[in-house]
Structure 1
Amino acid sequence: MAEQAVLQTGSKSKIKFLPLPEDDPQQRKPDIGLAKKSLDWGPTVQLEEGLSKTIAYFKTRL
């Protein structure tokens, strides 16, 4: 995901991989099972498109 953000923004930033802090969560993928079950909802936007829209939004805000 970081690579895609750098690519889409045209950033010259370098991605650094560092050791995780001891208290860092091991899983970052949220469980959306309750939303799927209760609201009949699921994500419909792919990462690349979502990043593109998010970047465009923040360009208007900054």
Structure 2
Amino acid sequence: MHPETHLVLHHARAVELRAEVDAYRLATAARHRPGLRTRLGWTLVEIGLRLAAKPGPATALS
């Protein structure tokens, strides 16, 4: 195989791989955006943990 032919095939494959990576990055970025439901859920968890961590009024044990 001539070096020029090999170089052309190499460049064509590199373009294909770059396009495949770009498509993968776009798909991954779209999946990793937290939705409203997720953010609301974690906010409720945080509020619950704060409420559970606050000390309540002292009670007598007798």
TM bucket, shorter chain: under 0.3
TM-score by length of 2: 0.25
TM-score by length of 1: 0.25
Could you say which structure has the higher helix fraction?
A: 2
More relative contact order in 1 or in 2 (CA 8 Å, sep 6+)? Answer: 1
Query: Which is higher, the Rg of structure 1 or of structure 2?
Result: 2
